[in-house]
């Protein structure tokens, strides 16, 4: 596996890979000041040849940056799923996605590509998570929730059943989302209000 990104998020992805006995072939980062990640060397210059026989995970928390890298780099993508996560057998998970420790994904949910389902988050039955979305630690999506592409659901936020959250939204930490949210919206508070 190749990890693209050597920040704090990458430390968690690296840990998940190691717990699953997935060997890390290379760690890449565009920031030349980053020399190592948990003692492993970080490359700043590389050719496309390294992507040929390895799968990659973009280990960067920023949704926009993950999308830009996918558009720029021609690679095969893997996924990283923490062994303590609970994922129903009917769940579909797209390539490039990471599922962190103690996350729960229930029956018939669909998780897109290059998503982050973060520590102790809960995705209930029949949810749909669009590509490049991030469900933060301890966020709760009730049944039938739809989260659009690139949307960030903040830590501890709650989205009520059957609510649709549009593309590239930001739902603040602890926000309670009671009704549908338009694309590119920012919501905060309980109940969530648009800012």
Residues labelled catalytic:
125
Dist. CA 79–CA 94, nearest whole Å: 8
Dist. CA 135–CA 131, nearest whole Å: 12
Do residues 154 and 138 make contact, with C-beta atoms less than 8 angstroms apart?
no
Tokens at residue 119, please? Answer: 């520590």
What are the respective helix, strand and coil percentages of the chain, to the nearest 5?
15, 30, 55
Judged by DSSP in three states, 41 sits in strand
List the Cα angle 85/90/94 in 5-degree steps: 70
Dist. CA 163–CA 109, nearest whole Å: 14
List the Cα angle 167/169/175 in 5-degree steps: 135
Tokens at residue 111, please? Answer: 């998780």
């Amino acid at each position: 596996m190749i990890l693209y990104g050597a920040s704090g998020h990458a430390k968690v992805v690296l840990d998940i890979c190691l717990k699953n006995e997935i060997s890390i072939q290379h760690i890449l980062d565009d920031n030349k000041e980053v020399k190592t990640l948990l003692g492993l060397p970080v490359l700043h210059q590389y050719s496309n040849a390294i992507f040929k026989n390895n799968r990659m995970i973009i280990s960067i928390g920023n949704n926009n940056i993950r999308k830009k890298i996918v558009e720029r780099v021609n690679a095969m993508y893997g996924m990283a799923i923490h062994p303590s996560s609970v994922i129903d057998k009917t769940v579909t998970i797209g390539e490039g996605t990471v599922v962190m420790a103690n996350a729960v994904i229930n029956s018939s949910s669909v998780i897109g590509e290059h998503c982050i389902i973060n520590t102790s988050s809960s995705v209930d039955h029949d949810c749909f998570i669009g590509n490049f979305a991030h469900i933060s630690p301890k966020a709760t999506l009730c049944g039938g929730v739809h989260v659009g592409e690139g949307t960030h659901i903040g830590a501890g936020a709650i989205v009520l059943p059957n609510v649709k959250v549009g593309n590239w939204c930001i739902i603040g930490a602890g926000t309670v989302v009671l009704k549908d949210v338009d694309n590119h919206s920012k919501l905060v508070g309980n109940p969530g209000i648009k800012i």
